[in-house]
Amino acid sequence: MTDAPFPVSVSVVVPALNEAANLPHVFATLPAWIDEVILVDGNSVDDTVAVAGALRPGLRVVTQTRRGKGNALTEGFAAATGDIIVMIDADGSTDGREIIAFVTALIEGADFAKGSRYAPGGGSDDLSPIRSLGNKALTLVTNRLYGTRYTDLCYGYNAFWARHLDAMALDCDGFEIETLMNVRAAQAGLVIREVPSHERSRIHGASNLHAVRDGLRVLRTILRERTRRTDRPVAVLQEPATA
Ligand SMILES: Nc1nc2c(ncn2[C@@H]2O[C@H](COP(=O)(O)OP(=O)(O)OP(=O)(O)O)[C@@H](O)[C@H]2O)c(=O)[nH]1
Ligand SMILES: [Mg+2]
């Protein structure tokens, strides 16, 4: 760790499926003070693991046991040793230089720092109109059902204190993972703060997400979680989004 700005340890979990061409860009944005980087490989058929290892001595590689981004993140989170866990993508969409804003939100009192492309200061070069519309509709349904004030439901840039992993009890395999985290964080009464984030376009390669198939998985998750038994009543203590 170099010139750590905070007296806590920070792990970054990076799910990667055939992202060898993008990893040099992604890792170049990671601050020097990050304690641990965990690459969760989805049995890539390109040089993802070799490239990542060469770029970052000390990198930890987890090979996921099932398929899907949700499974990858769940297994990466379980392996992380930091006080704080940050999740970013491996395709160049999420900028590691924003990690400081997420960690600052947690240090200032949030339990869960949730990236938002729609919060003031955020944005996206990557969201197609159809995906943006779908995301807005799913965000609206979630806010209605859970009393949250989220502005961006399906976004893969988030950070949280590792001690809250048990409260989220993550148990899904696919792209609905971010939704599950957002809903369960709210159900657990975690203090959630949105962090403005600018999403860039994937640099190389093809998306693994299918808007209709994965949108339906997200919707099913939102509806199903309403009836899931929780230890405590749904009580959302959400701080206002930061500017
Ligand atoms: N380990 C692992 N990583 C995955 C899997 N599916 C997606 N990912 C990674 O999760 C991140 C997000 O996936 P993307 O395919 O970029 O999905 P997306 O961001 O919605 O799609 P684009 O906007 O087109 O980039 C990337 O880093 C992927 O490599 C998987 O099954 N296993
Ligand atoms: Mg992407």
Which range of residues forms the domain containing residue 115? Answer: 10-226
Euclidean distance between CA atoms 16 and 22, whole angstroms: 10
237 located within any domain: no
Contact 174, 238 (CB under 8 A): no
Closest CA to 13 of 67, 81, 112, 68: 81
Could you list which residues have their CB under 5 Å from ion ligand 2? 91, 93, 202
The CATH number of residue 177's host domain is: 3.90.550.10
Question: Which pLDDT score is estimated for 238?
Answer: 53
Per the structure, the count of domains in the chain is 1
Residue type, 69: K
Pocket flag, ligand 1, residue 16 (CB < 6 Å): yes
181 located within any domain: yes
176 located within any domain: yes
Which pLDDT tens digits describe the chain residue by residue (243 residues)?
Answer: 557 788 999 999 999 999 999 999 999 999 999 999 999 999 999 999 999 999 999 999 999 999 999 999 999 999 999 999 999 999 999 999 999 999 999 999 999 999 999 999 999 998 999 999 999 999 999 999 999 999 999 999 999 999 999 999 999 999 999 999 999 999 999 999 999 999 999 999 999 999 999 999 999 999 999 998 665 544 444 554 443
1 located within any domain: no
38 located within any domain: yes
Question: Which pLDDT score is estimated for 4?
Answer: 79
48 located within any domain: yes
Question: Which atom of ligand 1 approaches the CA of 16 most closely?
Answer: 29
Question: Which pLDDT score is estimated for 228?
Answer: 81
123: β partners = 198
Let me know how long the chain is. Answer: 243
User: For the range 97-101, what are the long-range contacts, defined as Cβ-Cβ under 8 Å and sequence gap of 24 or more?
Assistant: 97/29, 97/31, 98/157, 98/195, 98/197, 98/198, 99/10, 99/12, 99/30, 99/31, 99/34, 99/159, 100/5, 100/31, 101/195, 101/196, 101/197
